[in-house]
């Protein structure tokens, strides 16, 4: 019988709620503790699981009854909590971005290596059904080589963050680091390290609030747009358009559709993995389910978690920070 991992969830805001819903569907993980600064938030998530409530994350990471912790805290807290958890012998799943700075992220990776425990960063787009299909198309060359790719992610400012931390650049890093990094990470996951990067953007008091980047991966060109400086009520948009030598794949306001150079368009079918609840911009849990399911499966089998290594998350953070610096320079 495979091992069932006892888990402490640290952070019970929007992402904590998403992860809590996923734990209700996983057979290889038991949510035992929910931790939040405000106990009422933790109580709501703990109740369906019969989990206990905690307000001090340090007690969670030092709890000998837990095998792993799931960190859904504001970005500026990721490094300290993850490093402490690893040093206390816990496996760590940590939400993206890995950290606010490259130096902090390097320390997280070093702590994982020295502790012998696993660290996985929640780059969920790598696991999102439609993006997995796109990855398979690129790697199989079913439509020939990928010529160009547009990745889009934008919406209204996410006002749901506790105490408004997400609107403070020194705590969240702006829309580019909090939101746009999804697409930077996916581009690098798909194609490797870019040979050229050029970024422009819009800067305001919350940081870089809209960013436009073009990356070259040899002859393949990727254009990325993302941000949150749109008016309240603007619908969230997550889209891509991939053009191949002999076809295209488009997800833009409708289900992903594959267009071969000859033959009829195809619409892949996916199983819904549950409905997300509460404020936020995602209605289906698929990406969150697949990444957490992968994490605990890999722990159970002693796998290398090569779909999201600390090194790959470090590279995504490094490139995103370079984009931010370029775009800031272009706005001055």
Question: How far does Cα 123 stand from its chain's mean position?
Answer: 3
All domains of the chain, ordered by start, with CATH? 5-122 (3.40.50.720), 125-331 (3.30.360.10)
Could you give the C-alpha distances from 233 to 165, 230, 236, in angstroms and in order? 20, 8, 9
Is 156 in a helix, a strand, or coil? strand
DSSP string, 100-144: SSHHHHHHHHHHHHHHT--EEEE-GGGGSHHHHHHHHHHHHTTTS
Determine if residue 134 is left, alpha or beta; phi over 0 gives left, psi from -120 to 50 gives alpha, anything else beta: alpha
Helices (H), the chain: 14-23, 39-46, 57-61, 78-87, 102-115, 129-140, 169-172, 174-175, 181-191, 286-301, 310-331
Nearest to 120 by CA among 282, 296, 289: 296
pLDDT in tens, 95-143: 999 999 999 999 999 999 999 999 999 999 999 999 999 999 999 999 9
**Cα distance from N-terminal residue to C-terminal residue, the chain:** 60
Q: Under a CB-based contact definition with an 8 Å cutoff, are residues 318 and 99 in contact?
A: no
How far is the C-alpha of 176 from the C-alpha of 332, rounded, in Å? 17
Do β-strands 146-156 and 220-230 pair in parallel, antiparallel, or remain unpaired? parallel
Task: Give strand pairing partners of 31.
Answer: 7
249 neighbors 257 (Cβ within 8 angstroms): yes
Per-residue pLDDT of the chain (332 residues; tens, 9 = 90+): 579 999 999 999 999 999 999 999 999 999 999 999 999 999 999 999 999 999 999 999 999 999 999 999 999 999 999 999 999 999 999 999 999 999 999 999 999 999 999 999 999 999 999 999 999 999 999 999 999 999 999 999 998 777 789 999 999 999 999 999 999 999 999 999 999 999 999 999 899 999 999 999 999 999 999 999 999 999 999 999 999 999 999 999 999 999 999 999 999 999 876 554 444 444 468 899 999 999 999 999 999 999 999 999 999 999 999 999 999 987 65
The answer to whether 214 touches 148, Cβ cutoff 8 Å, is: no
Distance of alpha carbon 185 from alpha carbon 99, whole angstroms: 14
pTM for the structure as a whole: 0.95
- pLDDT recorded at residue 45: 98
Distance of alpha carbon 116 from alpha carbon 60, whole angstroms: 19
């Amino acid at each position: 019988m495979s091992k069932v991992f006892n888990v402490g969830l640290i952070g019970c805001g929007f992402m904590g709620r998403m992860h809590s819903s996923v734990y209700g569907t996983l057979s290889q993980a038991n949510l035992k503790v929910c931790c939040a600064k405000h106990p009422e938030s933790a109580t709501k998530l703990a109740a369906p699981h019969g989990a206990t409530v905690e307000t001090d994350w340090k007690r969670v990471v030092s709890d000998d009854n837990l095998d792993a912790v799931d960190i859904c805290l504001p970005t500026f807290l990721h490094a300290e909590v993850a490093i402490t958890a690893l040093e206390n012998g816990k496996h760590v799943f940590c939400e993206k971005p890995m950290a606010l700075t490259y130096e902090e992220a390097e320390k997280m990776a070093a702590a994982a290596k020295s502790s012998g425990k696993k660290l996985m960063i929640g780059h969920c787009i790598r696991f999102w059904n439609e993006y997995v299909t796109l990855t398979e198309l690129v790697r199989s060359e079913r439509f020939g080589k990928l010529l160009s790719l547009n990745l889009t992610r934008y919406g209204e400012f996410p006002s749901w963050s506790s105490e408004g931390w997400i609107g403070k650049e020194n705590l969240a890093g702006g829309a580019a680091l909090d939101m746009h990094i999804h697409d930077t990470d996916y581009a690098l996951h798909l194609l490797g390290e870019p040979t050229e990067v050029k970024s422009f953007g819009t800067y305001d008091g919350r940081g870089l609030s809209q960013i436009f980047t073009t990356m070259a991966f040899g002859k393949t060109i990727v254009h990325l747009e993302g941000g949150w400086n749109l008016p309240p009520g603007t619908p969230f948009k997550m889209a891509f358009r991939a053009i191949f030598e002999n076809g295209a794949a488009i997800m833009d306001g409708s289900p992903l559709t594959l267009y071969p150079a000859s033959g009829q368009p195809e619409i892949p079918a996916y199983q819904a993995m549950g409905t997300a609840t509460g404020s936020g911009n995602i209605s289906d849990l698929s990406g969150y389910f697949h990444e957490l399911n992968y994490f605990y499966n890999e722990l159970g089998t002693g796998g290398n978690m090569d779909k999201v290594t600390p090194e790959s998350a470090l590279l995504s953070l490094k490139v995103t920070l370079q984009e931010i610096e370029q775009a800031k320079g272009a706005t001055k």
